[in-house]
Amino acid sequence: MPPSSRPLRKLGFLAIGLFDEADPRRGHESTLELIVLGEQLGFDSAWLRHRHLQYGISSPVAVLAAATQRTSRIQLGTAVTPLGWENPLRLAEDLATVDVLSGGRLNPGFSVGPPVHYEQVRGALYPDTGADEDFSHRRAERLLALVRGEAASDFEGTEGIEEYSRRVQPHSPGLADRLWYGAAGLRSARWAGEHGLNLLTSSVVRPEAADEAPDFATIQAGQIRAFRALHPAGERARVSQGLVVIPTDSATPGQRAKYEAYALARTPRTLAPQGPNRLLFAPDLVGPSEELAERLHAHAGYREVDEVAFALPFTFEHEDYVQILTDLATRLAPALGWAPGRD
């Protein structure tokens, strides 16, 4: 096996939390059950996606609040919260509240940019301020300042029988160190490094104009190196990679066929940059753990990290996710040098 420059230290998984519109509770309960299973298997972290106006979890922070009461050790994250849908002050209050409930286990990941289908949702989301909303990194800087405890109000003190604070309450001092930025492009990776955030990478990157023959792994590795070059912690700055990785060691023949068909159907989008933003997608990795370990060790982006949050496929059944998580924790991750409980 080719050597990895960074032995795997932290194992996580990312779920979308799909549900049936006719029975949304079952889908949400399934996600919570997977988080509990993840803790039992020794996973270091569980992450939830946002899916607004879709049949996936629209409020990961609320679901993670429930997860805090069913778990005691596993770290809980969002990957990622699109800030275009959020008021930074209200989000800072929610994040701090869930972090307190979890005992300091929340890892909020976020990104900036206009909401998806903004022209179609602007009337409901920002009916009076839609043309004036700032979806740039300045929106993220507002969130950073509020989570770090900077003033949200110029009033502090007692009014009648009520007491007011200048900063967001509750204040959770360690939360600011557990903020993550989801970057697909080089500019965003550099911005995250300059602002001392942790970096979430995924199965999507945005090539630069100079990349005439873009290679996903090479681009991702370059973004990670650029991030660390500007981060105060340098090479110790935290980066987590989120590829779709599906081990088949204990899968049934039917499951293997389903997984392979899923990956094959998504392969065309990996062959060239897609859409006006020229997004480049990584191929999904499917196969026995020994083979997957070889492929990951050969991946330039993976060789730059020692933390992962492998993404679960969107459309599988609960029992499929149980099999995948079990094989990730008991087969693939040990082959990558991971052991549960490692600091």
**What confidence tens digit (pLDDT) does each residue in 151-171 have?**
999 999 999 999 999 999 999
> Would 171 be classed as within a structural domain?
yes
> Would 202 be classed as within a structural domain?
yes
> Would 160 be classed as within a structural domain?
no
Portion of the chain with pLDDT greater than 70, in percent: 97
Domain count, the chain: 1
Average pLDDT estimate for 177-192: 97
**What confidence tens digit (pLDDT) does each residue in 23-38 have?**
999 999 999 999 999 9
> Would 342 be classed as within a structural domain?
no
> Would 133 be classed as within a structural domain?
yes
**What confidence tens digit (pLDDT) does each residue in 269-314 have?**
999 989 988 899 999 999 999 999 999 999 999 999 999 999 999 9
Portion of the chain with pLDDT greater than 90, in percent: 93
Average pLDDT estimate for 72-84: 98
Helical pair 216-230 and 186-194, crossing angle rounded to 10 deg: 20
With a cut of 60, say whether residue 72 has pLDDT above it.
Answer: yes
Q: Specify the pLDDT at position 214.
A: 82
| Helix, strand, coil percentages, rounded to 5, for the chain | 40, 15, 40
Average pLDDT estimate for 169-177: 97
Q: 62 lies in which domain range?
A: 10-151+166-335
Query: For residue 247, what is the domain's CATH number?
Result: 3.20.20.30
Q: Specify the pLDDT at position 6.
A: 75
> Would 4 be classed as within a structural domain?
no
With a cut of 70, say whether residue 212 has pLDDT above it.
Answer: no
- pTM to 2 decimal places: 0.96
> Would 157 be classed as within a structural domain?
no
> Would 117 be classed as within a structural domain?
yes
Report how far residue 44's alpha carbon sits from residue 308's, in angstroms, rounded to the nearest whole number. Answer: 10
Average pLDDT estimate for 203-213: 82
Report how far residue 308's alpha carbon sits from residue 248's, in angstroms, rounded to the nearest whole number. Answer: 18
Q: Specify the pLDDT at position 2.
A: 47
**Inter-residue contact 218 to 303 (CB < 8 Å):** no
With a cut of 70, say whether residue 195 has pLDDT above it.
Answer: yes
